[in-house]
Structure 1
């Protein structure tokens, strides 16, 4: 069985995702789709709109066959480690032949050359990057500019005009760098992103909108029906059910009291122990909070933002405090060693066939729940803690079983035909 891998957040699964999935299957002639999906918290330092089991169901009903979890230790990182964790997991299954990602251009040639050129972090590239960072440029912009200059000077003149800074090009490049660094065997492919940009906040098409625009509709109106035209009917049904049950939508507003507590109980020196808290940000946080007229997440972000501290970087830093992600747990050496397990969130009948195949091909233990794993996995502990933090952000009385759902929840199983088979 030929399988294609996708690296996703599905926040929520929408028509653009369905298009990407269908095109990936067509391009690779795959029989099954394996998705590595972020859990309750995402790459831009935000909570997911729906919990990971609801999003898994939407993914399976939308055409995926096997969904495995990207641990929060990687899912909430900047592009380099996010990509490294996701690509490593796909490779570790031993059943994924190719992986496919979306880009603004739909061209992979120069991205592959760039990945090969800088995978080993050559001294010339590091120096160009250092110069831009010292000039006060934020990391994403500094990395893209240094890369374009390094490649141009290395004999790729077309790199000077290539838009490396576009969000999907950035992620795609880091997927390819990760593949080089792990010496992976999967074939990388890309598909051009159509009709909506990654960060577009409003819908510009009658059926396709970015996840950002869809979340805005849902959060501002509180009505799943607002997004009905932009998501498959299966996603809409999941959204409607989760809203009615009071389990959605989740945003930083839900989690802000927890964040205030996590910050308020620590000194600036203690805050500095968390991932992405550096260069005096800990002092800025402690000094800023008492000055806010109204305590809200948006006011805090607006007050903390500088040229160097972008919204996304600040969200990831604050999320590390909320979730207790210490620098000591996420050193480069520890992250480079990779995830120690493959956590299954859900599967279809084809996914079950892949799981049987993985008994002989997987390079890591395959876990169907967090209960009694064969060994102590620190990143799995962090994921179970993330579930607690996520649930505490929801309205209504809290039951202990909901807090420790990771230990009891079985994988989501979807047996009927998916959207791509209809």
Structure 2
């Protein structure tokens, strides 16, 4: 059976994701689509709208055959580490190809950019440092340095100012660095860009736009045209049973408590907290009644919104620098769900998989997995309100979903 991998968050699963799954299967002639999906905290440093089980069911009902969890350490990391973790898992799952959506739409500019940046790595890194010394944020310094390296070369290179292109580049970089046999494929992102608001004249919207519309308007029914019915049904079911959706606004009281309770030294020990920003985080938390107020106080030219949110994610979950350094690569394959077709694939491949397959958490001892379990419990606590008491320990009680 030929397998193609995709790297996803599905926050939530919408028509653009449906198109991605369908085109990935078609373009690679795949029998099986395997999704590596972030857990309950995401790469942009925020809680997922709904938990990983709800999002797994959305994916399985819309064409994915197997969902593997991307461990917290990689799911909440900067783009290069996020990509390295995801490609490692897809390679371990014996995928023949991985397919990512991009603004570029063709693979050749990605491989050219990789070749140039690899052969001119020293000049590239020096240029990045120079731009950061001028006060630019890391992403902006990357873009300026990249422009300097490629400006005099008479070839087409990928635009690394676009969010999906950036991730796509890092997927290819990860695959080439590990000399993986898995082959990169890309498809054109269509209609909506990453940060676009919803457009009622279209049937595809970005996940960012969908979440924004949901929080501003409070109506799931208004989003019906942007997602498969199976996804809408899952969201309606979630709203009935949990009543609130994951966001930093919802989690703010607990996050604020965690920050103010911590010493400055404690805050500095959490992953991604650097250069004394812990002082600003502490003072802003004391003065801010809402998450929005807090972010306005902390945001600066040097630190992007996303990078600050990743710091906050690690503060909230208690994830420290020393723990990050102890886990350079994934050590297991955690199955969140599968179809019958996916079960058949696993039965054929399980003896050849290069990482152990985890379906029962209680039977597995792994420090990387323990981080995931704690993050899941803290996610559930963040959803609690006066109306809802969400249970912790779901990772121990919830078996893989089988459709």
Distance (whole Å) between structure 2 residues aligned to residue 221 and residue 319 of structure 1 = 26
Where do residues 257-296 of structure 1 align in structure 2 (5 Å cutoff)?
A: 257-292=253-288, 295-296=289-290
| 1:212 counterpart = 2:208 | yes
How far apart are 1:157 and its partner, in Å?
4.7
Shift of 1:266: 1.1
Q: Distance in 1 between the 2:138 and 2:349 partners?
A: 38
Question: Is residue 352 of structure 2 the alignment partner of residue 367 of structure 1?
Answer: no
Residues 147, 262 of structure 1: alpha-carbon distance in 2 compared, 3 angstrom cutoff: same
| SS of alignment partner, residue 360 of structure 1 | coil
Would you say the 8 A contact 2:4–2:25 is kept in 1? yes
Conserved 8 A contact 2:163-2:194: yes
Equivalent residue number for residue 224 of structure 2: 228
Give the Å deviation of 1:383: 0.8
Gaps of 5+ in 1: 415-422
Q: Does structure 1 residue 324 correspond to structure 2 residue 329?
A: no
> Once superposed, what is the RMSD of the aligned Cα atoms?
1.6
SS of 2:262 mapped into structure 1: coil
Q: What is the number of residues matched between the two proteins?
A: 401
After TM superposition, list the pairs within 5 Å mapping 1:1-400 onto structure 2: 1-94=1-94, 96-119=95-118, 122-152=121-151, 155-159=153-157, 162-203=158-199, 205-246=201-242, 248-292=244-288, 295-331=289-325, 334-336=326-328, 338-373=329-364, 376-394=365-383, 395=385, 396-398=387-389
The answer on whether the counterparts of 1:203 and 1:210 sit within 8 Å (CA) in structure 2 is no
Alpha-carbon offset, residue 203 of structure 1: 2.3
Normalised by the size of structure 1, how large is the TM-score? 0.91
- Give the 3-state SS of the residue equivalent to 1:393 in structure 2: helix
How far apart are 1:288 and its partner, in Å? 2.2
CA–CA distance in structure 1, aligned partners of residues 371 and 87 of structure 2 = 20
SS of 1:403's partner is coil
Deviations 1:151-177 (A, max 9, x none): 445x45544xx5211101111001111
- C-alpha offsets along residues 69-108 of structure 1, whole Å, 9 cap, x if unaligned? 00111111111111111111101112x1100001112022
Give structure 2 stretches of 5+ with no counterpart: none
Does the CA contact (< 8 Å) of 2:20 and 2:187 recur in 1? yes
TM-score (norm 2): 0.96
Between stretches 205-214 and 44-53, larger displacement belongs to 205-214
SS in 1 for 2:319: coil
Per-residue CA deviation, residues 388-412 of structure 1 (Å, 9 max, x unaligned), is: 111112234536xx20010111001
Output the CA distance in 1 between the equivalents of 2:120 and 2:372: 31
Deviation at 1:361, TM superposition (A): 1.9
CA distance in 2, matches of 1:120, 1:362: 33
